[in-house]
Every structure is written in C-alpha cells, then in structure tokens.
Amino acid sequence: MEFDTVARAILGNIEKVLAGKREAAEAALVVVLAEGHLLIEDVPGVGKTMLAKALGRSVSCSVRRIQFTPDLLPSDITGVSVYNQVEREFEFKPGAVFANIVIGDEINRASPKTQAALLEAMEERQVTVDGTTYTLASPFSVVATQNPFEMEGTYALPEAQRDRFMARISMGYPDAAAELAMVQGRDAQNPFDALEAVATIDDVQHMIATARAVYVSPAVEQYAVAIAQATRVHPDLRLGASPRATLQLVRAAKARAAVQGRDFVLPDDVDALVQVVLPHRLIPMRGVASVEDVVARIVAETPVPAGTVQPS
C-alpha cells in the first residue's frame, strides 16, 4: 500500500480508542518510522498504555508487553540460559524484548539495574547473555510509559537511558467532549477489543525505508546541529544534547516529513520535534524551572536557514 494510505489508516485506528489525541498518535508513528524509541510520561489513567497497545495492535507484527515492577529481573527482559537435561547443554530462552514493538509499562517502577537491561537492546538492537550476542527483530521499537518521578514508588531513569529514547511526549487530559464520549461509549464495549491490524510488517518496513530516503539539505542539517550545540553552552543547562540527540532529531524530522507527504525536510519539521526530542535529555542548572522554556528560547535565537531545502 501507499505510504499515505497506511499512515492514515494507522492514525485512524489509534484514534478509535484515543479520540482527540492526534498529536500524540502522530508522534508515536513518527518515532516508529524513524526507528526510534518513545517515552510517554504522564499521570496515571490518561491513556499512556492504551496508545502503546493501539499502535502495536494496528500493525500485524510481534508485540510484547513488560509490566515493570520493583521485583522485575534483568533476565525477564533479555532472556536467560537454561540447562537442558535431555540435550545436556544450555539453551537460550528469549525474554520479552524479542519483539518488533516492546511495550514497557511504568518503566520507572523497576530498579535501575533492571532498567539498564534495555540499554544494549535500545541502542544496538541486540542483547548479550552469558557472552553470546542475539540480534533482535527488525523493526524494533520500545514504547515505554512512566509516571512522573515525584510519584511514590518510582525511580528516575538514568541519563544514559533517557538519551536512548528518541522522543518523550505527554498525553494530557482529554477535553470534556472526548471524556463524555468515552464515558458513554465504553459501558457497552471497549473499542480496543474491536481494533484490528491495518498494516503488515512489510508495510512498515517499506515506510521506514521511505522515511530514511527523505532528503535533508545541508542548511537544515546545520540548523539542527546549531540548536543542539547551543544547548551545550547555554548558561541555564548543566547537560546539553548529545550527538545522538542531533542524529535522532534529524531522523525524526525525516519521518515527520514523510508522514506529511513530503520527500524533503523543512526547518518546520525540526521546530515541530525539538520539544519532544531534546528536553528529556537535558539537565538544567539549579533554579531553572522549565527546560522546555530554555529550548524554546534557543530555537527562537537560532537563525532559520534561508536557502533552498528541496532536492535539486
């Protein structure tokens, strides 16, 4: 199927269970098509896990869910070698990370040691157990949810793990009309139960390849780099954006351009994604209330490229 047709079908499918959350649905799709990982952070009960599940249900691919708890072990995620008494040798039992879409529910309720089990998987698309390396499925994306770290029973994600998430979004509360429709409609049937796949794994692979081929002009690349470098010298930030953040910002911009029906990236694509790609990676100086405000000022002060951005 055509890129636009599949993209609209997936977004429409998600909106069947999350009315009024088009922006969050588009962000989730962009991250998957950019071969990244998504962190959904918000208070309980606003549809974080439902967004992840609806995305997974919309594509006929392997989906595994991990409920992160304080007693979850790293081997529950990556897998473990078990001795086979019949064969008299150890055999590997894959963990929950071996899937195309891995839903990590309440990821910050597990200990830092267990959270770290995802580091290699998220960056290198592989896991190493007992000295043997196992390649993960392709495509592979982690869609994790977390409650605000101030809530009881949560652990802040380490900087290295936050940096591996391409984007962080919040769901927000639904408006009154959407909430009323949910209350009235879900007594009879949960719309998620009727949700069916609208895209195949081959469709997603094709869309990823299309997004990867989107043209980025040198001027737009320099614009993204300038924003990232400005975070590293800004007086209100103790830790700026990593080179990985710059790379993922450009990749996400390419995927967004493809979803918007273009084969080239505009500075507007970068601007639209800066606030979901950068802030969760940055550490403010003491007394700075909002990282998002700092990023907004950086974008406003960075000259927008005036040259051509389309392929010649």
The verdict on 270 and 175 lying in the same domain is: no
The verdict on 130 and 262 lying in the same domain is: no
CA dist 60 and 54 (Å) reads 12
The verdict on 51 and 187 lying in the same domain is: yes
The verdict on 220 and 165 lying in the same domain is: no
Look at residue 183 in the predicted model and tell me its pLDDT. Answer: 79
Element (H, E) at 221: helix 218-233
CA dist 265 and 252 (Å) reads 10
Task: Give the CA distances from residue 89 to residues 82, 132, 134, in Å, rounded to whole numbers and listed in that order.
Answer: 8, 14, 18
The verdict on 193 and 239 lying in the same domain is: no
Residue-number span of the structural domain to which 274 is assigned:
214-301
Q: What's the total number of domains in the chain?
A: 2
The verdict on 218 and 199 lying in the same domain is: no
Contacts of 129-138 with C-beta under 8 Å, sequence gap 24+, read 129/75, 129/78, 129/79, 129/80, 129/81, 129/92, 130/81, 130/90, 132/92, 134/79, 134/92, 134/94, 134/98, 136/97, 136/98, 137/62, 137/98, 137/99, 137/100, 138/100, 138/205
CA dist 154 and 158 (Å) reads 12
Which amino acid, one-letter code, is at 163?
D
User: Which one, of 260, 294, 65, 37, lies nearest residue 165 by Cα?
Assistant: 37
Residue 55 belongs to some domain of the structure: yes
Which among 204, 222, 246 is the end of a domain?
204
Look at residue 175 in the predicted model and tell me its pLDDT. Answer: 82
The verdict on 174 and 245 lying in the same domain is: no
Per-residue DSSP letter, 84: E
The verdict on 8 and 101 lying in the same domain is: yes
Residue 128 belongs to some domain of the structure: yes
What CATH code is carried by the domain that includes residue 64? 3.40.50.300
In this structure, the dihedral spanned by the alpha carbons of residues 309, 163, 65 and 94, taken in order and rounded to 10 degrees, is 110
Residue 85 belongs to some domain of the structure: yes
Helices 22-33 and 201-212: crossing angle in degrees, nearest 10, is 80
**Average pLDDT by stretches of 10, the chain with 312 residues:** 88 88 92 95 86 91 91 92 83 92 91 88 92 91 85 78 94 82 72 87 95 95 96 95 96 96 95 96 91 96 80 71
The verdict on 280 and 200 lying in the same domain is: no
Task: Give the CA distances from residue 280 to residues 58, 169, 206, 237, 304, in Å, rounded to whole numbers and listed in that order.
Answer: 27, 9, 30, 12, 23
The verdict on 120 and 197 lying in the same domain is: yes
Look at residue 307 in the predicted model and tell me its pLDDT. Answer: 65
User: Which one, of 133, 139, 154, lies nearest residue 33 by Cα?
Assistant: 139
Element (H, E) at 145: strand 141-146
Q: What are phi and psi of 215, to 5 degrees?
A: -80, 135
